[in-house]
Amino acid sequence: MREKSCSEECCNVRKLDTKRIGELLRSGSTASCGKVLDEVLDEVGFDGLHSLVLRLYVCTDMYLEARSFTRQLGVTDEEFTACFGGVDEIEERLSTVEKARENMHDMLEQCIRWRVEKCHENGNSVVRDAREYIDEHYMSSALSLTAVAEAVGISPAYLSALFKRETGKNLSEYITGIRIEHSKELLCCTSKLIYEIAFEVGFQDYRYFSQIFKKCTGQTPRQFQNSANICM
């Protein structure tokens, strides 16, 4: 069986699927990293690349893809090169095919870890902004998942998942809880009628407000108001 010529190897290398590597970095997991990398490298016949120059070509493409992605995450040049070295240092890590594979795997896996870490940091910030928006607008009957998502600049589906992950509650449950807490304050501390309080905290339907209030507190608004007045 004849060995591949240099021109054949070059042809294969040009088929490197950097798009798939980009997808792995954006949405893949560390668990899937090895499998995806193996498939991408197998497509270009990486294990048969006898030329150090061609291995360098592949690894440099991977390196640049990873660096471009991590810049978007806010990873500094110092952080990146501390882990993987600069472009001019890649050659030192490619003395064998095995070392080259290991180097690329470690690099992609670390990039995914950075993405997960940044996602959690950003998630905390987004949820904090969402809570602040809800606290300021709970009295509006137009307040909804879509309205909050638009205010914080992300999609409703992503906000819903993020809010649930960070707080353990659905966003709609959080809105309801805020409204009920404010209604309890008004029931205790003002002489406003119950239907007025319902509208003031964002409920358009007095009966629905009463049902939700009882579900959350075990009492109707009237019962809660009466018991609060007795204690005063």
For the chain, the domains span 6-116, 119-170, 173-231
> Alpha-carbon distance 14 to 167, whole Å?
47
**CATH class, 173-231 region:** mainly alpha
> Alpha-carbon distance 31 to 89, whole Å?
27
Which residue is it, tokens 């660096």? 67
Which residue is it, tokens 């240092």? 89
* Domain covering 119-170 in this structure, CATH number: 1.10.10.60
Which residues have CB under 8 Å from 72's CB, separation 6+? none
Percent of the chain exceeding pLDDT 90 equals: 49
> Alpha-carbon distance 124 to 163, whole Å?
9
Quick check: do 119-170 and 173-231 share a fold? Answer: yes
| Helical pair 52-73 and 6-13, crossing angle rounded to 10 deg | 10
What is the per-residue pLDDT across 135-187, written as a single tens digit (0 to 9) for each? 999 999 999 999 999 998 888 888 898 899 889 999 999 999 999 999 999 99
> Alpha-carbon distance 161 to 207, whole Å?
30
pLDDT at 195 > cutoff 90:
yes
pLDDT at 5 > cutoff 60:
no
Closest CA to 212 of 223, 224, 220: 220
What local confidence, expressed as pLDDT, does residue 155 receive? 81
- Residue 201 phi, psi (nearest 5): -100, 10
What local confidence, expressed as pLDDT, does residue 14 receive? 62
pLDDT band of residue 16 (cuts 50, 70, 90) is confident
Structure pTM?
Answer: 0.55
What is the per-residue pLDDT across 28-53, written as a single tens digit (0 to 9) for each? 888 899 999 999 999 888 888 888 88
